[in-house]
Structure 1
Amino acid sequence: MKDPVFVIHGVANRDRDEFTAAVSALAAAAGVDMVPVHWGDLGAQDRFIDATLPVYRTDTDTLRDGEAPEPVMAKHFAAALLTETIDEVRQLSLLDAAVREQLSAGNDAQDEGLRDSGRDKLDPDEILEYVREAWADTEWLCRTDDAQLLLETGRSLARSLLDETDPDYDDSYHGLRGGGTDLHSRVRSLVRRRLKDLDRVAGAAVQAVGARLNHAVRSRFGPGTTRFLGDVLVYQRHRDAVHARVRQVIDEVHPELGRSSARPVRIVAHSLGGVIAVDMATATAPLWTESLITFGSQAAFFHVCDPRGGQLTPYGGSTPVHLPASLNRWTNLWEPLDILAFAASKVFQLHDGTAPVDLPVSHQASTGMWTHSAYWNLPHVATVIGDVMRQNRPLENQ
């Protein structure tokens, strides 16, 4: 009878009973006897994470002339968000097209009663010249290449000019009617004011949407992200304590397990658990491992960024890192939408000259967009575990 397969969890597993139930379900699906290795109580303290997160708030005060919307995110959010090169010629071309379209629509045959007003004095070329003068002073609009936003900006600007030349429009804003020789300076002034107003509105909208998105991302993914980072930091500092917990659970099954090549262990590990398993199997005093299956794991990524030590040499980029005989076989599963899953076959080479096996796991729509924890319930994962651990069927890289 074979020894059981030991299952090491990854980050953010605080509930021992929940993890034990997940391992039991996976063991039943794979047809393999499994023993859970729980170390989550040694992980990061995350009870007070909320105290470190910025608080989202909204401003209800109406913006007044000369006031800028108070930033609710980074001070230079626009520059950080829109860093690509912007084609100003294209921007002004879209604005020009929208202005001409709106001016034409405002003076069509359906508006005959106003055709003798000051509207016919509005020159699109002149307006574009004034827009070009003021464009560099905008903070938000000059950084966008969104055609719809630029077209709407041009239409809104033209509509405001048309309103100022409407005989029925309230003249309390020093409109353009009867502008005489001062018409050009009034148009220039109005273009600058309206462009500034539109820029402030765009800025307030972008910041509000960005803040809500930031808040939603923090609320949805923040806890998982902070627990992942927190557990990684704790493991880096307290690696010996985590390894001792793994060794303790193995010893409870049999104290000779993993002590030599005579009786190696078999391990299944998720996420950071895969890093733990590789670290232990390649340590100076290794945990002898017959077969390792990792899913959603970062062992290769961590070693490339910061060499793990033990029996492993740093990755130089041209040839893979030679794994010791204490890690006999390694199958690494990854899901395409799992941003925390990394390949191993290009970075490492097994002692027999073959590469670890990287196997993709097909994405299922039912798992949603956050797939890092989905492996436990995927039938294909259970099948691979059964093939490797129970039937010892050889697998190849895909």
Structure 2
Amino acid sequence: MPDPVFVIHGVANRDRDGFTAAVEALQSATGVDMVPVYWGDLGAEDHVITAALPTRDTKLMSPVGPGDILRDETPDILPSYLFPAQPLVLDQLRIVDAALRGELGSDEGPLRADRGPGTPTADEVMDCLADEWPDTRWLSRTDDAALLAEAGRALARVLLDADTDADTSYGYDGLRGPSGPGTGRWRDMLRRRLRDLDRITGAAIGAAAGRVNQAVRTRILPGTTRFLGDVLVYQRHRDVIHARVRERIDEIDPSLGRGPQRPVRLVAHSLGGVIAVDMATAGEPLWTDHLLTFGSQAAFFHICDPRGGQLLPYAGQSPVRLPASLGRWTNLWEPMDMLAFAASRVFRLDDGTEPVDRAVPHSTSSGLWTHSAYWDLPAVAVAIAEAMEGGSSAADERMPGEAGRQADPV
């Protein structure tokens, strides 16, 4: 009977029972005998981490001058001080001008040159827009060509769609106004519609940004913050956490991982993968036959801060050779997971081959925060069964159940 596969969780996991249930679900899905290795109680004190997170009501210092305080009075609208720089008005108006003239040239309307000397020309319209444009709050801060072009076309339609009956007060005389060319009603119409478009643009940006903001604050930011907290603890207390992993393996068989004759097999998520690589490449290594990581950062950490042990720093010219104590390595990553990194360009196995970087498909039900979604992905169960050579075709049909879901462990 083969030795079991040891499963090491990632950061922000404070639910031992939930983690055990997740491993049991993976075991059922893969047909591989698995042992959970829990170390979450040694992690960061993150139960009150929200005290350090900014809220939407947090006052922000104005970039205009020191000591000035700005508060967003309309929380559904993205505050303008979040825009890093204002595009050149001339560049914006070129786009608006081209779209406006294209629209005016394609239809009959009050701006046609043959409608009388008092009818505003495209040049006059653009002169008016140039005067009003800097006062817009949103349009003047966008460099989106499609949005600017649509604004130009919409402003042209305002005048083209006006009543064109010269006998009414809203006809050409009405557009020209009582005081002659340049002072007519068309300028007022244009100003009003420009302000309307500006408000609509701000509302649209605010609605989209509000949804992203909510996702970031409720899903992505807390998970990332807890990730950083446990990383800091691991960097300071690496030996204690390694000892916990070693103790759990010893409970099954003290000879496992002590030498090349009895290497262990490991599955590790997130920072658990960093722990596994650190232990497998230490001066006194945990001999590992096959390591499967998912959503892990071992390569990223080694580039930023060389891990030591038997590993040389990565200088960028050639991959770092892994010792024989790490036999095989399969590294899974999900396209939307911002905390997942590739391993094959940074490392080489002792036999000269690359670690296997393998993408797993994104599930739309995972949302934006996908770092915790691996436990329930069928592709992960299939990859584990294949890598550990203990699964069967049933792994394609079976899935980790809802027991594998926790309150966003990463």
TM bucket normalised to smaller: 0.7 to 0.9
- Aligned residue number for residue 341 of structure 2: 342
TM-score, with normalisation over the residues of structure 1? 0.76
What's 1:152 paired with? 154
Question: Is the partner of 1:328 in helix, strand or coil?
Answer: strand
Q: Deviations over 1:121-146 (max 9, x none)?
A: 33332122232344456453232421
Alignment of 1:77-226 (within 5 A): 77-79=82-84, 88-98=93-103, 104-105=108-109, 120-135=118-133, 138-142=136-140, 143=142, 144-145=144-145, 146=147, 147-156=149-158, 167=169, 177-180=177-180, 183-184=181-182, 190=188, 194=192, 197-198=195-196, 201=199, 204-205=202-203, 208-209=206-207, 211-217=209-215, 218-226=217-225
Q: Give 1:272 deviation, angstroms.
A: 1.4
Query: Which consecutive residues of structure 1, in runs of 5 or more, have no partner in the other structure?
Result: 58-67, 109-115, 170-174, 394-398
Question: Structure 2: which amino acid aligns with 1:320?
Answer: P
Structure-1 separation of matches of 2:343 and 2:288: 17
Residue 289 of structure 1 and its aligned partner are, at CA, apart by 1.4
Q: Does 1:44 align with 2:44?
A: yes
Shift of 1:19: 0.8
Q: Which residue of 2 aligns with 1:266?
A: 265
Map Cα deviations across residues 239-280 of structure 1 (whole Å, 9 max, x no partner): 233222212212222333323334322211112111110011
CA deviation digits over 1:265-323, x for unaligned, max 9?
22111121111100111122322212211122121122223222222111122211011
What one-letter code is carried by the residue in structure 2 that aligns with 1:77? Answer: L
Instruction: Describe how 1:377-392 pairs up with structure 2 within 5 A.
Output: 377-390=376-389
TM-superposed deviation, 1:75:
4.8
Question: 1 CA distance for matches of 2:366 and 2:56?
Answer: 29
Q: 2:110·2:162 contact (CA, 8 Å) conserved in 1?
A: no
Moved more, 151-160 or 39-48: 151-160
Separation of aligned partners in 2, 1:82 and 1:6: 55
1:308-319 alignment to 2 at 5 Å? 308-319=307-318
CA contact (8 A) 1:32 1:389 kept: yes
Partner of 2:81: 76
C-alpha spacing 1:368/1:205, structure 2 compared with 1 (3 Å): closer
For 1:238 and 1:202, locate their aligned partners in 2 and report how far apart those are by CA, in whole Å.
Answer: 53
- Normalising by structure 2, we get a TM-score of 0.74
Tell me what 1:64 maps to: none
Return the structure number with greater relative CO, CA threshold 8 A, min gap 6.
2
CA offset digits 1:144-165 (Å, max 9, x no partner): 4213234334445877999xx9
Q: Report the equivalent of 2:253.
A: 254
Decide whether aligned partners of structure 1 residues 233 and 386 sit closer, same or farther in structure 2, where only a CA change above 3 A counts. Answer: same
Q: Gapped runs of 5+ residues in structure 2? A: 58-70, 393-410
Instruction: Name the CA distance, whole Å, in 2 between partners of 1:75 and 1:360.
Output: 38
The answer to whether the 8 Å contact 2:110/2:160 transfers is no
Are the aligned partners of 2:109 and 2:160 in contact in 1 as well (CA < 8 Å)? no
Aligned match of 2:19: 19
Structure 2 vs 1, CA of residues 79 and 239 (structure 1 numbering), >3 Å: closer, same or farther? same
The 1:151/1:11 distance shift into structure 2, 3 A limit, reads farther
Give the 3-state SS of the residue equivalent to 1:315 in structure 2.
coil
Equivalent position amino acid for 1:201 in 2: R
- Aligned CA RMSD, in angstroms, stands at 4.0
Which residue in 1 is equivalent to 2:287?
288
1:336 to 1:45, Cα distance in 2 relative to 1, 3 A: same
In terms of fraction of residues, the more helix-rich structure is 1
| CA distance in 2: counterparts of 1:379 and 1:13, whole angstroms | 22
Whole-Å separation in 1 of the counterparts to 2:334 and 2:72: 42
Instruction: Look up the equivalent residue of 2:276 and give its one-letter code.
Output: A
Report the 3-state secondary structure (helix = DSSP H, G, I; strand = E; otherwise coil) of the residue aligned with 2:36.
Answer: strand
